[in-house]
Amino acid sequence: MIKSMTGYGRGEASLCGRTASVEIRSVNHRYCEVSVRLSGKYIFAEDAVRQYVKRNAHRGKIDVNVSFTSSNEEDAMVSLNTAIAKQYFAGLRELQKSFDTTGDITIDLLSSMPDVLRQEYSQINEESIQSLILEATENAFTSFDSMRIAEGKELCSDIEKRLNAIEKTVKTIAKRAPEVRETYTARIKERMMLLIDKPDDAIVEQRLALEIALFADKSSIDEELVRLHSHIDQFRKAVYDGNGSEPVGKKLDFIIQEMNRETNTIGSKANDLRITDLMIELKNCIENIREQVQNIA
């Protein structure tokens, strides 16, 4: 079953007062491009998260946002730099004297100065933190993948309707093709009879047969119709036979290009107004499928 390239998922994982939260969202992209956002303290887990997503997503521009919270008192503490605070206080007093101005030098003002109060972190176990982040990533990806599968089903339903329309049109074209040859034969024969004195002459019959044979060879679309049927079967096989674990979007894109190529060839060879009208319908369906294929992973 096919999957959409667009999706969103969120997941969490907790252990010993620590919680990792991961959000994954994606949009269409020709290749697999993964961007991971982590705070500097946990940057060591970035590559592991990126590789996990790449192994499972295959295609799309994917953004992964990782946040981390902790209620563990051992993880963080606040330190006071009294020496720097004294220097700030002395400097502010000096400014008051220099500019002959008044004002309160409050604790709020001093504590807001750079490096007076500083949050420090204790040494963390990178292996356990990375495992926690990867667990949250896996949970987020499960939700993300469920959305892609659901959207894939919608895409599949729409594509199947259009494939059925293509098959119906192709059958109509195949039925019309012999009528085109018969019409051309009657027209040529009628024209010859108007131009010659002996319509039953053997040379005339030979010439007529040659003209018809040349037209039939030039305008024959049998091979193109056979290949078009084959492409439709290949397209369905790629859509329905897979289990979603392997990307099929690029393969479907190639098949739809081949279908479009055969359609163009039929249009150039048909030499019939009715078939030309049918080709417009056919190309419209193929173009709609091509647009949908751009959303498939």
Supply the pLDDT for residue 177: 84
CATH of domain 7-72+124-146: 3.30.230.40
Supply the pLDDT for residue 79: 80
Q: Are strands 32-37 and 18-27 parallel, antiparallel or unpaired?
A: unpaired
80 sits in which H/E element? strand 76-80
95 sits in which H/E element? helix 82-99
Q: Please provide residue 146's backbone torsions phi and psi, each rounded to the nearest 5 degrees.
A: -60, -40
Supply the pLDDT for residue 178: 82
Supply the pLDDT for residue 7: 96
CA 280 to chain centre: 27
Measured distance CA(291)–CA(58) in Å, rounded: 19
Measured distance CA(117)–CA(81) in Å, rounded: 7
Q: What are 38-83's pLDDT values in tens digits?
A: 987 889 999 999 999 999 998 899 999 999 887 765 556 678 899 9
Measured distance CA(226)–CA(175) in Å, rounded: 13
Contact at 8 Å (CB) between 65 and 38?
no
Residues 6+ apart with CB under 8 A from 62: 24, 25, 26, 32, 33, 34, 35, 53
Measured distance CA(206)–CA(212) in Å, rounded: 10
Supply the pLDDT for residue 32: 92
Measured distance CA(73)–CA(17) in Å, rounded: 9
Q: Residue 72 carries which DSSP code?
A: -
Measured distance CA(235)–CA(160) in Å, rounded: 10
- Alpha helices, H only, 20-81: 46-57
Measured distance CA(260)–CA(136) in Å, rounded: 44
What ranges do the domains of the chain cover? 7-72+124-146, 82-115, 148-293
Strand partners, 34: 62
Residue-by-residue pLDDT tens, the chain, 297 positions? 789 999 999 999 998 888 999 999 999 998 899 999 998 788 999 999 999 999 999 889 999 999 988 776 555 667 889 999 999 999 998 888 888 888 888 999 988 899 898 766 556 688 999 999 999 999 999 999 999 999 999 999 999 999 999 999 999 999 988 887 777 777 777 766 666 655 556 666 676 677 666 766 676 888 899 999 999 999 999 988 766 567 899 899 999 999 999 999 988 887 788 888 999 999 999 999 999 999 998
Q: Is the pTM of this model over 0.75?
A: no
